[in-house]
Amino acid sequence: MVSKSKTGLFALGFFTFASLFIIISFVSPYWLVTDGKLKNPKFIRIGLWEVCFNGFEEVHHWYDTVFKNCWWIFEEEYYIIHDILLPGFFIATQFFFTITVCCIILSFFLLYIYLRKEEDDDNYVALLLTFGTTLVIGGFSGLVSVITFGARGDGRDWMPHWEHNDLGWAYALGVVGVIFLFPGGILFLIEARVRKYKRLHEMQSREPSSYTMQERKVAFPGHTDI
């Protein structure tokens, strides 16, 4: 790995923890969980892509179907309760958090390039800007997601026995991961700015000396520098 500045290393640290927390949160069915104080709760837990019921019945009583165990949230059997299982706020939560995960996946590719690229490379500043911007975009998208779910997830108009439902540890990891994206992205943007001005300063410091050498060659055409 090519040596990096302290700013870059701190940015990598924030990105590493953020990506780890966000990916775990993305695949874990513990965004909303029952508190365990209720005997035989109909709802057990739910994540972005999996839900666990224990005797949950379709509330309109149009079908004599009882849902038990854990299933993929888009399972065909769940179509009769999609209006309950997938309200607008939850679809928005899934959508914006998926954008965040896509930004993380793209950042893995940028990370590979970043670790192999020299700091004096012509495209280094552009890489840092792209890396930082991708993380900030992912952070804003994730922020919308976790705020939306936090405001509505444990409300009384969604899962049964709402007073016994709590936001789970996977949701907490998602919140922390999203927050960590911001310092990671901002530090990469700061590093890009520092490298840009450092490169401009080096170019400006070289130009006068180059100009002086040209003048000397014109003034002393037969002179050779040792």
CATH code where residue 156 lies: 1.20.140.150
Residue 158 resides in a domain: yes
Bridge partners of 56, per DSSP, are 67
For the chain, what percentages of helix, strand and coil (3-state, to nearest 5) are there?
Answer: 65, 10, 25
Domain count for the chain, please give it: 1
Residue 219 resides in a domain: no
In the predicted model, is pLDDT for residue 31 greater than 90? yes
154-185 pLDDT per residue, tens: 888 888 888 889 999 999 999 999 999 999 99
**pTM metric for this prediction:** 0.82
B/e letters for 82-116, b = 16+ CB within 10 Å, e = fewer, are eebbeeeebeebbebbbbbbebbebbeebbeebee
Residue 217 resides in a domain: no
* Residue 62 DSSP class: S
Residue 1 resides in a domain: no
Tell me the Cα Rg of the chain: 27
Q: Check residues 80 and 46 and name the one with the higher pLDDT.
A: 46
The parent domain of residue 118 ranges over: 6-209
Bridge partners of 45, per DSSP, are 33, 52
Q: Provide the pLDDT for residue 41.
A: 86
Residue 216 resides in a domain: no
Q: Provide the pLDDT for residue 47.
A: 94
Tell me which residue of 49, 40, 36, 53 sits closest to 159, measured CA to CA: 53
Residue 195 resides in a domain: yes
Q: Provide the pLDDT for residue 88.
A: 93
Residue 55 resides in a domain: yes
112-163 pLDDT per residue, tens: 998 887 766 678 889 999 999 999 999 999 999 999 999 998 888 888 888 8
15-27 pLDDT per residue, tens: 999 999 999 999 9
Q: Provide the pLDDT for residue 175.
A: 97
63-109 pLDDT per residue, tens: 777 878 888 998 888 888 888 889 999 999 999 999 999 999 999 99
Q: Provide the pLDDT for residue 206.
A: 63
